[in-house]
Amino acid sequence: MVFSTFTAMNEINVLLDILQQMVKAHPESVFVNSLYQQYCNLGGLSKKQLEGLHAKATTTAGISPNKLATLEAIIKKKPTRERAAATISAARPEKDEAAGKLMNEILEKYPQHKRILFLKSKYNNNEILSAIELGELQKFKALLLK
């Protein structure tokens, strides 16, 4: 019981030791200093940051292989987050050619008709015309094209 209390009080932080040795070995390195500051302030590093630290630490003399192995184990323990694949968009509905032809006929006779111009812009932008809008087109056809 005394031994477990002793180890809990003197817990070894391998990552902090590696970071402190890296700061001493590379005092001008912005990367190492930013990792050290983030670890001290936030209490942790991401998997990518740990991988970068490991790559830099393997080239630095004075860091024991045991600590590097522990750092490798910490990296492997962290989950790998992958971005979701791009979603496949639904196929665009085909234009209703009859509605486009009808709008052109009405606009030939009444080129300034605002509602038909609005529906034509929706049609040209590949937006779906609702059933109400298609009904309006039929109503305009009956009223305007006799």
- Residue by residue, DSSP assigns 63-116 as --HHHHHHHHHHHHHSPPP-PPPPPPPPPPPPP-HHHHHHHHHHHHH-TT-HHH
pLDDT for residue 62: 86
Higher pLDDT, 95 or 12: 95
Tell me which H or E stretch contains 130.
Answer: none
- Tell me the mean pLDDT in the region 87-111: 85
pTM of the predicted protein model: 0.51
Q: Residue 122 carries which side chain, given as an amino acid letter?
A: K
> What would the two tokens of residue 88 be?
């496949």
Cβ count within 10 A of residue 82: 6
Candidate from 30-44, 76-90, 124-138 with smallest mean pLDDT: 76-90
Residue 19: Cβ-neighbour burial (10 angstroms; 0-12, 13-18, 19+): buried
pLDDT for residue 11: 58
- Tell me the mean pLDDT in the region 60-77: 90
C-alpha–C-alpha distance, residues 57 and 24, integer Å: 12
CA nearest neighbour of 50 among 20, 72, 29: 72
